[in-house]
Amino acid sequence: MSDKRYTINRISDRTMHILFFICACTSIFAVAVICIFIFAKGLPAIGEIGIFEFLGGTEWRPGQEKFGILPMIVGSIYVTAGAIIIGVPIGLLCAVFMSKFCPKWLYKIIKPLIELMAGIPSIVYGFFGIVVIVPQLRSLFGGSGKGTLAASILLGIMILPTLVSVIESSLNAVPESYYEGALALGATHERSVFFTVLPAAKSGILAGVILGIGRAIGETMAVVMVAGNSPVIPESLTSNVRTLTANIVLEMNYATDLHEDALIATAAVLFIFILLINVSFSLFRKRKG
């Protein structure tokens, strides 16, 4: 009887092993197919347009076959950087508060609200930006209110659930002995948290920042609604801006021939951009580790 049960367990383990392996291969295959499609369609378009004209050109006029995406690259960098500057400090401090300072009764209120923010559709955030953020910026700075600053503030809000969840989990994963050791050496509660627990969780914090950057740079619909979407290099925080993702979604419906291939090439540039960010942060984390 025991031999039969052992055989059944071995078969079950083997079956699950194969199933997990197939799922992992399916994920890798899906990513590979997407990469092949993007680069197979995008690289020939970059070669036809010219790599310097494509990446360094400042004019995007498909009707005249001018496909310079430098304004969109600069716009994506500005908007993403603004979102990180706004979102990371708020998300970090919120995570520290929830992990080490928040009363239990308040935690039960804040935690579900943070999780609810993660589930709100992008279009709803976009309407919030149009109704609340844009009018406020219009009254403060004049103009239409749409532009780099509006998009940065909105994305800074949108990345908060990701930042808070990942950073809080990292803080909670730090052994309690670190905190208790700092207290035993005479540090206050605040100094123990910020000078002992927080540095110990730096890997998780960096992971949260990377995920936040990925969410910010890949967001489309909400940015389209508040950015103004002019394909020009923004001259100030209140200038209209168009990101790489917005450029694709605004024109893909009617694009044909070289125009369509240029938009796919834009997606390839965005993919490489995100890849470089992830690799850079990984190298930085290993170096600091």
Give the tens place of pLDDT for each residue, 46-80: 888 888 888 888 888 888 888 888 999 999 999 99
Does 41 share its domain with 85? no
- Do 246 and 172 have their domain in common? yes
Q: Could you tell me which residue, 283 or 6, shows the higher pLDDT?
A: 283
Do 8 and 95 share a domain, yes or no? no
Asked if residue 66 is part of any domain, the answer here is: no
Beta carbons of 148 and 75 less than 8 angstroms apart: yes
Q: Is residue 198 a part of any domain in this protein?
A: yes
Q: Which amino acid is at 111?
A: K
Residues 168 and 222 in one domain: yes
Residues 222, 101 within the same domain: yes
Strand-pairing partners, residue 228, are 241
Output the average pLDDT for the chain: 86
Residue span of the structural domain in which 14 resides = 2-56
Biggest distance spanned by C-alpha atoms of the chain:
82
In the prediction, which pLDDT does 91 show?
A: 92
Amino acid code (one letter) for 163: L
- Are residues 203 and 114 part of one domain? yes
- Cβ count near 15 (within 10 Å): 10
Residue 135 structure tokens: 């009018």
What pLDDT score does 2 carry? 57
What pLDDT score does 62 carry? 85
Instruction: Give dist(CA 231, CA 152) in Å, integer.
Output: 17
In a domain, 273, yes or no: yes
Domain count within the chain: 2
pLDDT at 288: 57
Give the tokens for residue 43: 């690289």
* Residue 65 counted as domain residue: no
Enumerate residues 6+ apart whose C-beta is below 8 A from 220. Answer: 122, 243, 245, 246, 248, 249
Contact status, residue 210 vs residue 201, Cβ threshold 8 Å? no
Please indicate, yes or no, if residue 62 is contained in any of the structural domains: no
Q: Which residues pair with 275 in a beta bridge?
A: none
What pLDDT, in 10s, does the model give residues 138-176?
Answer: 998 888 888 899 999 999 999 999 899 999 998 988 888
Q: What angle do CA 235, 240, 246 make, to 5 degrees?
A: 125
Model-level pTM greater than 0.75? Answer: yes
Asked if 121 and 215 sit in the same domain, the reply is yes
